[in-house]
C-alpha cells in the first residue's frame, strides 16, 4: 500500500532563496528513487509557507528516501520549521515511531472495510 505524505514548512526570514535551492535538490534526488512515485513542492498565499506532497510505494521506500536525502533534509531543517506533517497509509514500525516522536506529525491509517 502506498504511503502519502503532506508536509507544510515555514521558511525562516531571509532564507527563502536558500530553501528553494534545497527543495529543488530534494525533488531531483527523489526523481531518481525507484520507490518514490511523487515528490512535488507547492507555494501558498503566505510567501514563507511551502507544502510538499510525497508518495511512496510503501513504508520502506519512504524510509529509504529519508536516508538517501538525509543531508538535504538536514539543510531544510536549518532553513525552515515543519509546522505539520500528515502520513497516510499503513506506516510500519519505523514511520509510526517517527510520527509518535514528532509533535507536528500525524498518522492516518487506512479505513479497512469488508464487504
56-95 pLDDT, tens digit each:
999 999 999 999 999 999 999 999 999 999 999 999 999 9
Any domain includes 115:
no
Model confidence at 37: pLDDT above 80: yes
In a domain, 71, yes or no: yes
Q: What pLDDT is attached to residue 112?
A: 80
Q: Compute the distance between CA of residue 55 and CA of residue 28 in angstroms, rounded to an integer.
A: 15
| 9 inside domain | yes
Average pLDDT over residues 39-55: 97
Q: Confirm if 65 and 25 have CB atoms less than 8 A apart.
A: no
Number of domains into which the chain is organized: 1
Assigned domain for 114 exists? no
Range of the domain at 67: 3-108
Q: Is residue 82 part of a domain?
A: yes
pTM recorded for the entire structure: 0.93
The values of phi and psi at residue 105, to 5°, are: -95, 145
- What CATH number is attached to the domain comprising 45? 3.30.70.100
With 90 as the cut, is the pLDDT of residue 29 above it?
yes
Amino acid at each position: 500500500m502506498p504511503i502519502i505524505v503532506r508536509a507544510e514548512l515555514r521558511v525562516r526570514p531571509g532564507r527563502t532563496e536558500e530553501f528553494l535551492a534545497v527543495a529543488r535538490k530534494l525533488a531531483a534526488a527523489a526523481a531518481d528513487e525507484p520507490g518514490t512515485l511523487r515528490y512535488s513542492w507547492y507555494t501558498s498565499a503566505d510567501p514563507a509557507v511551502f507544502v510538499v506532497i510525497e508518495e511512496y510505494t510503501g513504508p520502506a521506500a519512504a524510509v529509504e528516501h529519508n536516508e538517501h536525502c538525509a543531508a538535504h533534509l538536514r539543510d531544510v531543517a536549518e532553513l525552515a520549521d515543519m509546522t505539520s506533517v500528515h502520513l497516510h497509509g499503513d506506516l510500519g514500525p519505523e514511520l509510526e515511531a517517527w510520527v509518535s516522536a514528532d509533535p507536528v506529525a500525524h498518522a492516518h491509517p487506512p479505513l479497512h472495510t469488508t464487504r
